[in-house]
Amino acid sequence: MTFTKPNRRHVLAGMGAALATPALLTRARAAEVTLRLHHFLPAVAPMHTQFFEPWARELAEASNGAIEVQIFPAMQLGGQPPQLAEQVRNGVVDVAWALPTYTTGRYVVAETMGLPFLVTNGEKTSVAVHKLVEEFGQDEFPGMKPLAFWSHDAGKLHMRETPITSAADLAGRKIRSPNAGMGELLSKLGAEPVFFPVTEMVVGLSNGVIDGCCLPYEVVPAFKLQELTRVSSEAAPGARGLYANTNILLMNQGAYEGLSDDLRGVIDANSGLELSRRIGRTYDEFEAVGRDVVESNGNEIVEIPAEEIARWRDASQEVYANWQATLDAEGHDGAAILARANELLDQGE
């Protein structure tokens, strides 16, 4: 199995290729199994060109052409991003990229890693979330087989006008929040959190409904956010990042069990912890590309001082307590899950 480490040239070239070619991947010979993979980002997104397309080719090669993956980006098969997991569960699609935060409270163990300040970088956090869900959340996905869990690098605050270096700068600002936990923290810091899927964010920034958004740099090029925002604020080096949403690659359980033993072996060999690690590492590369795009556009990048981040972490304690209660209400040991999440991040594997 081969995978080219993406750099800025590879990613931008992939974006151009995706604009010129359809998202459907075909093989010269007929496949025994065709898997339909659905996701919510456009075909120019790095995740599509630099992971899903290579991964589909790897499955085809490992199965000697028996597995074909058809990729449908930008919700081409219908529905909204919050419905992707249910589409897998109901057999509408075979594989999908889903975010637990879009259905908050349904996949609570996986969603835990989306709390504020539970992120170091993409690779390490992806390993942590994969292990956390394996240990505590195996029963959260009935009718589905998780193939990988991953996180992006830490989110940053991208603003139309105002640099954010303290809670005072957030006062009264309408900011698109990436998840409920981060929204709760933003509210405590004086901002007005607004939540909608990332696919609707461009309109919100364009018409002034929101003053900014909280996202990693890797999302910036696909939506040209560098043209809609003027300044980005990032946590000081050495501090944990603001947040990172958990992402899941899910496969319909029936589709998986319907494969022959050898083809299930191909899926197994190309999924699991090492795939999660690989995607997280790839997202770290995407992050560098996105930051370069922001800088190249002439946008300002400012630092949120470490002492300010420490104050924000203190403000997060109530967010953690509320989430622990949510975990407990779902029959989990919330304190143990939160402690393990922090332990896994501190291990830095």
Number of domains in the chain: 2
Per-residue pLDDT tens for 49-99?
A: 999 999 999 999 999 999 999 999 999 999 999 999 999 999 999 999 999
**336 domain-assigned:** no
Would you say the C-alpha torsion 14, 19, 21, 22 has a positive or negative sign? positive
Number of H helices, E strands in the chain: 16, 11
Where in the sequence is the domain holding 162, given as residue range(s)?
A: 156-238+300-331
pLDDT band at 3 (very low <50, low <70, confident <90, very high): very low
Query: Does the residue 340 lie in any domain?
Result: no
The stretch 280-294 carries a mean pLDDT of 97
pLDDT, mean of residues 26-38: 78
Q: Are residues 160 and 222 in the same domain?
A: yes
pLDDT at 196: 84
145 and 77 in one domain? yes
Asked whether residue 282 is assigned to any structural domain, the reply reads: yes
User: What is the C-alpha separation between 312 and 175, in angstroms, rounded?
Assistant: 16
Let me know whether 199 and 78 are in one domain: no
Which pLDDT value is given to residue 238? 87
Residue 281 belongs to a domain with what CATH number?
3.40.190.170
pLDDT of 6 higher than 80 = no
What band does 115 get if pLDDT is binned at 50, 70 and 90? very high
Distance CA 204, CA 293 (A): 21
Which tens digits make up the pLDDT trace of 153-202? 999 999 999 999 999 999 999 999 999 999 999 999 999 999 988 878 99
Q: Answer yes or no: do 200 and 218 share one domain.
A: yes
Is residue 346 a part of any domain in this protein?
Answer: no
| Three-state SS at 128 | helix
Examine the domain organization and report whether 76 and 221 are in the same domain. Answer: no
* Mean per-residue pLDDT over the chain, rounded: 92
Residues 12, 96, single domain; the answer is yes
- pLDDT above 50 for 150: yes
Structural domain contains residue 121? yes
Distance, in Å, from the CA atom of 335 to the CA atom of 328, rounded to the nearest integer, reads 8
The arithmetic mean of pLDDT across residues 237-251, rounded, is 95
Distance CA 25, CA 72 (A): 10
The model's confidence at residue 207, banded by pLDDT at 50, 70 and 90, is very high
Give the pLDDT mean for 33-38.
98
My answer on whether 217 and 285 are in the same domain is no
Q: What is the dihedral of CA 289, 295, 298, 299, to 10 degrees?
A: 100
When comparing pLDDT for 45 and 340, which is higher?
340
Domain-located, residue 189: yes
Are residues 91 and 233 part of one domain?
Answer: no
Residues 57 and 71 in one domain: yes
Mean pLDDT of 102-125: 96
What is the value of pTM for the model shown? 0.89
Residue 24 bridge partners (DSSP): 70
Task: Say if residue 146 is in the same domain as residue 170.
Answer: no
Q: How confident is the model at residue 239 (pLDDT cuts 50, 70, 90)?
A: confident
How far apart are the C-alpha atoms of 101 and 245, rounded to whole Å? Answer: 7
Token pair of 26, please? Answer: 């075909």
Q: At 49, list the tokens.
A: 């060109």
> Around 317, how many Cα atoms within 13 Å sit in the side-chain half-sphere?
4
Q: What is the pLDDT of residue 46?
A: 87
State the average pLDDT over residues 218-233: 95
What pLDDT score was predicted for residue 204? 94
Asked if residue 111 and residue 179 are part of one domain, the reply reads no
User: Are residue 259 and residue 136 in the same domain, yes or no?
Assistant: yes
* Inter-residue contact 205 to 213 (CB < 8 Å): yes
CA–CA distance, 18 with 105 (Å, rounded to integer): 35
The mean pLDDT of 329-338, rounded to a whole number, is: 98
Q: Is residue 279 part of a domain?
A: yes
Answer yes or no: is pLDDT of 140 > 90: yes
Mean pLDDT of 262-282: 98
Question: Is 135 among the domain residues?
Answer: yes
Amino acid 2: pLDDT: 34
Residue percentage of the chain with pLDDT more than 90: 86
The terminus-to-terminus CA distance of the chain in angstroms comes to 23
